[in-house]
Amino acid sequence: MSLSEDQTIAIPRAPESASSTFRATVPALEQRLHQPIPLLDHGFIRVIDYMGDDGAIVQAARVSYGRGTRKVSEDEGLIRYLMRHRHTTPFEMCEIKFHVKLPIFIARQWIRHRMASVNEYSARYSVMDREFYIPSPANLAAQSTSNRQGRDAVLEGDEAVEVLRLLRADAERAHDHYAWMLNEGIGDSPADPARQGLARELARMNLTLNTYTQWYWKIDLHNLFHFLSLRADPHAQYEIRVYADAMMEIVEAWVPVAARAFRDYRLGAASFSAPMLAVLRRMLAGETVAQPESGLAPREWREMMAVLQPPA
């Protein structure tokens, strides 16, 4: 499911249709409009449209400031203050619309972020292309024994070869059966005039979850930052993190001041519970504190110590 002919034509024609505007524009993002960024083996992300910039955040914040608060005059300082104290509504004044091509199993994880407008490619009306996500050997990992949502060591040898073969064979076989059921002359499955063919909305149920889909996804900056705080995190699943990392680069081109504040106060920061802070105060006072007398559960203790350890 690569860019369709209409989508491809729209890329070079977009600048030709540009006109003068009074709205804020960001040259670094204008250059990226409509340009697909390849991701995974067949996926991509591209910016379709956007509204607002760093100045729009400041403008929205200052409209609610009364007399006596005008000492906050420097835009970056204000944005960093807003981010630091989680004053979120000014960030909602900026919006961006992406065109994303991604495996279905990642789309189902992604759609859990509900504060966005989404319109997905419909297999009720159109035929799904024969494109599947097959992990690279470096990302083919075993199930973690300590984290039900995580991965462990990379599979190697005959087991890795067999897993990749099964993933590819199952996806191809499922799509072959899908094409046969549709009876629309797809790929190696020629149309049979003697058969009516199954409805598209039913035939699609047989496709594997690594089949690629596409959607338009529009979201405001505040909720995009929340998405990125979870999906650009090192603990996020690799496949969705690839998309989040690409989106973070786009955000840095679009609203660089807000992006820096987000990296400093959200993405690269850590929060502590009230019991954790109590333990930290005891440590800073010179007391030696171990987990049994800390009042913290073992898991919460490990999480706190993981944050406090210096980076390797």
pLDDT in tens, 163-173: 999 999 999 99
Rounded Cα–Cα distance for residues 255 and 26 (Å): 8
The two three-digit tokens of residue 151, written as one number: 């991965």
3-state secondary structure of 308: helix
Mean pLDDT of the chain: 90
What residue spans of 183-232 are helical by DSSP H?
200-203, 221-231
Rounded Cα–Cα distance for residues 268 and 273 (Å): 17
Kindly name the residue from 80, 204, 231, 241 that is annotated as catalytic. Answer: 231
- The answer to whether residue 70 is catalytic is no
Question: What is the per-residue pLDDT for 145?
Answer: 64
DSSP-derived secondary structure letter, 100: E
- Specify whether the CB–CB gap between 152 and 60 falls below 8 A: no
Rounded Cα–Cα distance for residues 137 and 299 (Å): 32
CA 210 and chain centroid, separation: 17
Q: Which residue has the tokens 């499911």?
A: 1
3-state secondary structure of 271: coil
Rounded Cα–Cα distance for residues 103 and 62 (Å): 42
- Specify whether the CB–CB gap between 228 and 115 falls below 8 A: no
- pLDDT-derived band at 14, boundaries 50, 70, 90: low
Average the pLDDT over 180-202 and give the result: 92
Which stretch of DSSP H or E encloses residue 6?
helix 5-16
Rounded Cα–Cα distance for residues 252 and 244 (Å): 12
Question: What is the per-residue pLDDT for 72?
Answer: 44
pTM: predicted TM-score of the whole model, two decimal places: 0.89
Provide the percentage of residues in the chain whose pLDDT is more than 90: 76
Rounded Cα–Cα distance for residues 219 and 225 (Å): 10
